[in-house]
Amino acid sequence: MLARMRSRVATIVLAVVLAALPSRAWADLTAFVGVNPTPSNRTATGLALGFSVLVVGVEFEYSNSREDLATLAPSLRTGMVNLLVQTPVPVGGVQFYGTIGGGGYQEQLGDRSDTSFGTNVGGGVKIALAGPLRLRLDYRLFVLKGEPLESKPQRFYAGVNLTF
């Protein structure tokens, strides 16, 4: 009985604290193009949709790198869900962030294909341009499980970011 009352009191206190926090929440959408240099340079494209409150957010991201048979570089498609931690406000028009997450991937080279789970860690900056438009620069290191040809691909990109 006492444990149940403590739980209810804790729930009420948490609700009051959350209600007292600023209700300002943000969402942003990024379309990006970059490079996947693992094992050789090829184009990476994708979309990211993020939601954040203060310094913590969540981001859903899809990315695709095409295969290059001449250099034996496999294609890589990823669909990741990431936790995002960022500066609460831009400093001099620049907002820094770090991210960590996981999701699914598909790697393919010729007839060989591998689909499994992967994780990623990275970070970057969002630079104010005009109004709700920002330039986003990002780096990610992926760790792919299963039997990929490239278990630790990287990605660098620049994107157009729209806040709403």
- Residue appearing with tokens 């729930």: 11
For residue 132, what are its two tokens? 């709700």
Q: What is the per-residue pLDDT across 19-74, written as a single tens digit (0 to 9) for each?
A: 445 545 689 999 999 999 999 999 999 999 999 998 999 999 999 999 999 999 99
The CA-based angle 117-119-125, given to 5 degrees, is 145
Domain boundaries, the chain: 24-163
**Is it the case that residue 104 has pLDDT exceeding 70?**
yes
**Is it the case that residue 102 has pLDDT exceeding 60?**
yes
Averaged confidence pLDDT in the chain: 92
Task: Report the pLDDT value the prediction gives residue 159, as an integer from 0 to 100.
Answer: 98
Task: Report the pLDDT value the prediction gives residue 98, as an integer from 0 to 100.
Answer: 98
Nearest to 116 by CA among 146, 138, 93, 89: 146
Task: In whole angstroms, give the CA distance from residue 13 to residue 130.
Answer: 40
For residue 4, what are its two tokens? 């149940």
Task: Report the pLDDT value the prediction gives residue 36, as an integer from 0 to 100.
Answer: 98
Q: Beta partners for 65?
A: 44, 76
Task: Report the pLDDT value the prediction gives residue 16, as an integer from 0 to 100.
Answer: 55
**Is it the case that residue 6 has pLDDT exceeding 90?**
no
Q: Between 62 and 2, where is the model more confident?
A: 62
Domain covering 24-163 in this structure, CATH number: 2.40.160.20
Task: In whole angstroms, give the CA distance from residue 49 to residue 60.
Answer: 5
Q: How confident is residue 125, by pLDDT bands cut at 50, 70 and 90?
A: very high
Nearest to 155 by CA among 89, 76, 86, 88: 76
Task: In whole angstroms, give the CA distance from residue 110 to residue 123.
Answer: 32
